Structure 1
Amino acid sequence: MTRAPILCALLLSLAASGAQPGAAPTDTAQPAATAPAAQPLFALILAPGPAWKPGKPFAEQGLRPHFDYWMALFRAGGIVSAGPVGTDGGLVLLRAADQAAADAILAADPAIVAGIFTGTVRRYAPPMIDADVLAAPKNRSGRDAGKVRQP
């Protein structure tokens, strides 16, 4: 499978979410018509892939590029929440233009590419929701990034 369609979809999704490829994480440009809060939510569920090292903690799985990838999306305002689930998986709540864009974002995760994780993407439309938690994010950077624990 060629990466060009995946990369193109990822860039389109980032553009729709207000992220600027190559821009510093503090860039705040967001088109009004495609504000992240107006985009649907997707749950990305990560599970151990063929390159996962059983018995090793997250810190010993080579996940720095994975963390950096998701942190950039978080700072751009496309991530609602993300983190480990249990001892060998993860969950990301993501804003994306559509299913194809969410699929492309997951496919471009360095841990997916490396086979450390496998993943699935499902549309997430919760009937019970805390509007304050899911309010339109500001571009996040540095101290504004919320509670972030690095691997």
Structure 2
Amino acid sequence: MKNEGVYSRPQMVVANIGGLITGMNNDFNDLRGMKVTRRQVEVKYLDAVNFPNGNPDADPSIEAVSFYVVEAMSEETADQVQYELSTPIDADKAVIPGRTILADVCQWQYRGDGCMYAGGPVANDKDEPTSDPKADRCSHRLSGCRLRFPRPNPLPISCFPGSSKVG
């Protein structure tokens, strides 16, 4: 998968009744960095009160939610103010992935932060059983984690098994 280019930058227009938004812009740096949540509900799911004959399909909980951050104020008049929005990822200048995605290599330190294993010795770094605490090592593979967290326990592993190549 390849993603190049910039994210969309939607515009948001707000009524500037009585200069309220102008005052907020002056006090809060044109609202830069403020979070905006957009909730979209399809017409067919709107409450029954919005239709003369009711709406048997009404379910306003079926919604599409988008999150944005105010990037800049692009226009201000006595009647309205327009802002340019960006996605939180774009606004943070985040780079994805934040770490390397490996299908079968755990990046946690054995018995350290993230690993959460605190039991007795289980296996060496080749997943061979051992009861010797000095030989107890993790292979940093899915198999090594499963030895320490048998089914049905969830694996606290720091790898991405679904990212392996297919075929």
Normalising by structure 1, report the TM-score. 0.19
The structure with the largest helix share of the pair is 1
User: Between Structure 1 and Structure 2, whose CA radius of gyration is higher?
Assistant: 2
Normalising by structure 2, report the TM-score. 0.18
